Structure 1
Amino acid sequence: MPHPSLPLGRRYDIDGRQLMLHHSGGSGPTVVFLAGVGLMSLDYLNIHNRVAELTGSVLYDRAGTGWSDPVDLPRTAAEVTDELHDLLRAAAVPGPYLLAGHSLGGAYARHYARRFPGEVAGLLLLDPFHEDLVVRAPRRARERLEQMMKEMRDQELVELTEEQIRQSRDQMAPHFAAWPEPVRGPLIERHLATWRSASQENQNLYDKVADEFRRAPGTPDVPLIVLSAMGHDATQAHLWPEDLLREINEGKRALHAELAAEAPRGEHRILDDAGHGWLHEERPDAVLQAVNDLLQKESSAT
């Protein structure tokens, strides 16, 4: 099946698969963005462009997402981090890396740092997934999450109708209005073509992958900032009653504080005016400030 042309970046051959990577900016520690589930590389283009004014910056798509080749999903965290490790080398991206991971991408960033500590200059975790989110959630939330995961495993992912595609395209257009015109249309169409990947990538998240994260080595002593998005998120508000979502978010806040405490130079910052899914668009200033602070900390330590 022919691959859609890339609006930006290029593809590199990694173990027989073509993976998309876009690299901008100058010298210094390279910021590498790891997307959350349901998102892809160019969803982070606007913040990437601002980071590239400070230092090198990389966007990429995991196999099975965005403009990278398909792969059987779900996968292990080891497979995902090995793939990124090989891709950065194939693309000759200079290290050390400041990994900026969002949601599940934040957990993958932690896993990469634990497995390849000598390559990582810092960690920026953007409202990251935590392996104990479910086991420490309120009972009602835990039961609901377990039911949702079962439904995702059992659900047959049927083709969207032309009407559903048209409605989805119309709904996405206002959101992506801030993206450069040459990217906007292809990005919307890629979302419409790859919407299944989010459900597929999540399928073993709360059991096998969570256990994999728990068994990983400790977080290395690198500068680390965790940003917790505690503001309104339309998707989460649709899924959860308000009182239960408040309990879930308080549990998330506690887990994120623990993540920050894993590293001697860890810091936890709260964003009360940003939601989980698009905090990098709602508060790009906070993301950029965190990147700049991590670069300064890394510079002062060398």
Structure 2
Amino acid sequence: MRGRVLGPAGILAACALLGTACGISSPTHSALSADASADTSASSFARLVDIGQGRKMYLECHGSGSPTVILVPGLVAAADTWRNVRGPAGAMKASGSAVYPGVGRFTRVCSYDRPGTAREGGKPTTSTSVSQPTTPRADVADLHTLLTTAKVPGPYVLVGWSAGGPIVRIYAGEYPRDVSGLVLVDAETEFLQSRLTPAQFTTFLALERKDDAKRIAQWKDVERQEPTTVFGQVRAAPPVPDVPVVVLSGDEFDPRAFRARLPAGAPANYPQVFWRAQLASQGDLARKFPGARHVTKTNSDHNIQNNQPQLVIDAVREVVDKARRRQSGTPSAS
């Protein structure tokens, strides 16, 4: 699962892997930094953070309380994906009912822009560009440096949407003492590869290369990843610690939109084959974490945080509450 595709022109919008319609970005959406500056509490900030080696990354935080929730966007998506909801006409708009402000009402919350990402309206991030494609392990290193440099206090509940899923899982494995919970929002998972035959997976890789070519034509520095590398790094990562986990899975799929993205020669039934594998892989992901709650009835495509933000907020609150009870030694109510 990947984030929406946004080039600087803001005219190409589609969701990689699932191929769900994302709609054209709203040209009236204000810049992320302007949105963040509307929150004037002393503990809130939205700024570029110098992470060394001539690089800066955009970070915003607000709210108070522990654990701190870190919202990790999907591929190409910037921090403002967590501030937006999809309106009745399909356009994205900033809203007080979105995930970022909603979580900030009960604990501290932060999000950030990885290099090569873009905001609604197609505006490229101000985070310093890096060589592409990147990898989840490199993204984990960046996130750890960013949080450490900016002095964002742990422990963290990590929320990973789409390609953010492998990032938060690897982070939790590499820094287990810093992580007190996970929420996986239609997260990309290595089980997709094992649910497809080698020939079917080859078609999937060809689809990804076709999508990458469209992104690069818009913006040469756009964020990219290689799926086989992603899945290999997740498999090789240290195990996630025993923490509360909620898995949210999209349950809506547009086979026609997906078929339009397929490479020439793909089997006619490939959208249906892919969707069965996707649903099965989400079940595999949830079963990887004993005691995890798996929400399969989301009434949403891949973009659950925009279509059903309250589901994500409720999942985060559940994990935060469990983490707090563990920290205080209070028995879990579940």
**Coarse TM-score class (shorter-chain normalised):** 0.7 to 0.9
Distance 1:118 1:152, change over 3 A: same
User: What letter matches 1:21 in structure 2?
Assistant: L
SS at match of 2:147: helix
**Does 1:280 pair with 2:305?**
yes
Tell me the residue number matched to 1:258. Answer: 284
Give the structure 2 partner of residue 216 of structure 1.
Answer: 237
1:268 and 2:294 are equivalent in the alignment: yes
Q: For residue 162 of structure 2, what is the amino acid of its counterpart?
A: S
Does residue 1:296 correspond to 2:317, yes or no? Answer: no
- 2: CA distance, partners of 1:264 / 1:96: 21
> Closer, same or farther in 2 for the Cα pair 1:115/1:40, shift >3 Å?
same
CA distance in 2, matches of 1:121, 1:156: 35
Q: Alpha-carbon deviations, 1:84-118, whole Å to 9, x = none?
A: 01111111111111100000101111110011111
Q: Structure 1 residues 219 and 235, CA, compared in 2 at 3 Å: closer, same or farther? A: farther
Shifted more, 145-154 versus 104-113: the winner is 145-154
Q: Is the 8 A contact 2:99 2:309 kept in 1?
A: yes
1:115 aligns with one of 174, 177, 202:
174
Distance across 1 between alignment mates of 2:321 and 2:81? 26
8 Å contact 2:215–2:222 — kept in the other structure?
no
AA aligned opposite 2:148: R
Give the superposed CA RMSD: 2.6
Q: Which of 51, 56, 63 matches 2:103?
A: 51
CA drift at 1:232: 3.5
Identity of aligned residues (%): 28
How far residue 148 of structure 1 moved from its aligned partner, in angstroms, is 2.1
**TM-score between both structures, scaled by the size of structure 2:** 0.71
CA distance in 1, matches of 2:212, 2:66: 43
Retained in 1: the 8 A contact 2:103–2:313? yes
1:126 touches 1:228 (CA, 8 Å); kept in 2? yes
Q: Is the 8 A contact 2:70 2:109 kept in 1?
A: yes
Secondary structure class of the residue paired with 1:229 = coil
Q: Take 2:145 and 2:271, find their aligned partners in 1: how far apart are those partners?
A: 38
Distance in 2 (CA, whole Å) between partners of 1:274 and 1:5 is 25
Which whole-Å deviations, capped at 9, do the CAs of 1:196-218 have from their partners, x for residues lacking one? 614xx13x2x2222211111111
CA displacement, residues 124-171 of structure 1 (integer Å, 9 cap, x when unaligned):
000000123234225664242122234456679345xxxxxxxxxxxx
For residues 292 and 307 of structure 2, the distance between their equivalents in structure 1, rounded to whole angstroms, comes to 23
Look up the equivalent residue of 2:48 and give its one-letter code.
R
**C-alpha separation between the residues in 1 aligned to 2:281 and 2:63?**
33
Between structures 1 and 2, the one with greater helix share = 1
SS state at 2:222 partner: helix
For residues 49-198 of structure 1, what are the structure 2 equivalents within 5 Å?
49-65=101-117, 66-137=125-196, 141-151=200-210, 157-158=216-217, 197-198=222-223
- State the alpha-carbon separation in 2 of the partners of residues 155 and 253 from structure 1: 27
Match of 1:239 in 2: 261
The structure 2 residue matched to 1:6, chosen from 27, 33, 50, is 33
In structure 2, C-alpha distance between the alignment counterparts of 1:128 and 1:289, rounded to whole Å: 17
1:225 counterpart SS class: strand
TM-score, with length taken from structure 1? 0.78
Q: Measure the CA separation in 2 of the matches of 1:28 and 1:256.
A: 29
For the 8 Å contact 1:33–1:100, the answer to whether it is kept is yes
Where do 1:6-45 residues align within 5 Å? 6-7=33-34, 8=36, 9-15=46-52, 16-45=54-83
Query: Structure 1 residues 231 and 196 mapped into 2: Cα distance closer, same or farther (>3 Å)?
Result: farther
Higher deviation after alignment, 112-121 or 76-85:
76-85
**TM superposition shift of 1:83:** 0.8
Structure 2 residues not aligned, in runs of 5+? 1-30, 37-45, 84-97, 118-124, 328-334
Structure 2 letter corresponding to 1:148: L
Shift of the alpha carbon at 1:220? 1.1
- Alpha-carbon distance between aligned partners in 2 of 1:126 and 1:143, rounded to the nearest angstrom: 25
Distance verdict in 2 for CA 1:221–1:100, change over 3 Å: same
